[in-house]
Amino acid sequence: MRHGLDATARQLVFVLPLLMGAIEYTLRVGFDQPGKDEFFPISLIVAGIGLFVALTILPEAPRQSEPRESEVEQVERKERAERYRQQALVAKTGVWFAVGGVAAWIYLLAASFSDKVRAIIPFYPLMGASVYYLLGAVLTEWKARLPK
């Protein structure tokens, strides 16, 4: 079982959309806003953006080879370079999915207040937001399981 900040943060991301959804629902009902039933997809998208942004954090890049490295050191350096390459791939994916999530969030926010915006692009907000968030959760778990 993992402990510490990494494990706590990974557990918190599953609670975050529920907390954000409850706050948004309370505000929408309290201010008598339209779209009271569309609060959760927006929270999922925002939580997903947080997941993808967190995935962009990379460890320090591996150092270059030195002239007097032993074969064992060369193998270890190549392994570190491969781990870094995998983490960099996850980070690049995180950047692009975060950008896409911001676009989806803007659309969902505008569509929740206006039927005209909702009519422009047919979209199933709960399904799309759920897939986006679950993809972020899967990539977060994948990055956590990469060798350190």
Residue 120 maps to a domain: yes
Position 1 scores a pLDDT of 44
Residue 22 maps to a domain: yes
Q: What is the mean pLDDT of residues 101-106?
A: 89
Residue 82: what are its φ and ψ, rounded to 5°? Answer: -65, -40
| Burial tier of 108 (Cβ tally within 10 Å: 0-12, 13-18, 19+) | buried
Q: What is the mean pLDDT of residues 91-98?
A: 90
Residue 82 maps to a domain: yes
Tell me the C-alpha distance between 107 and 123, whole Å: 10
Residue 101 maps to a domain: yes
**Tell me, what amino acid is at 44?**
L
Q: What is the mean pLDDT of residues 67-75?
A: 76
Residue 65 maps to a domain: no
Share of the chain above pLDDT 70, in %: 78
DSSP code for 61: P
Residue 64 maps to a domain: no
**Range(s) of the domain holding residue 131:** 5-59+71-145
Asked if pLDDT for residue 49 goes beyond 70, the answer is yes
Residue 66 maps to a domain: no
Q: What is the mean pLDDT of residues 16-26?
A: 76
Asked if pLDDT for residue 95 goes beyond 80, the answer is yes
Residue 41 maps to a domain: yes
Position 34 scores a pLDDT of 64
Segment 117-137, tens digit of pLDDT? 778 876 677 788 889 988 988
Q: What is the mean pLDDT of residues 22-38?
A: 71
Asked if pLDDT for residue 75 goes beyond 60, the answer is yes
Tell me the C-alpha distance between 68 and 35, whole Å: 66
The helix (H) or strand (E) run that includes residue 36 is none
Instruction: Select the more confidently predicted residue: 58 or 134.
Output: 134
Position 35 scores a pLDDT of 60
Total domains in the fold of the chain? 1
Determine contact, residues 133/17, Cβ cutoff 8 Å: yes
Determine contact, residues 100/108, Cβ cutoff 8 Å: no
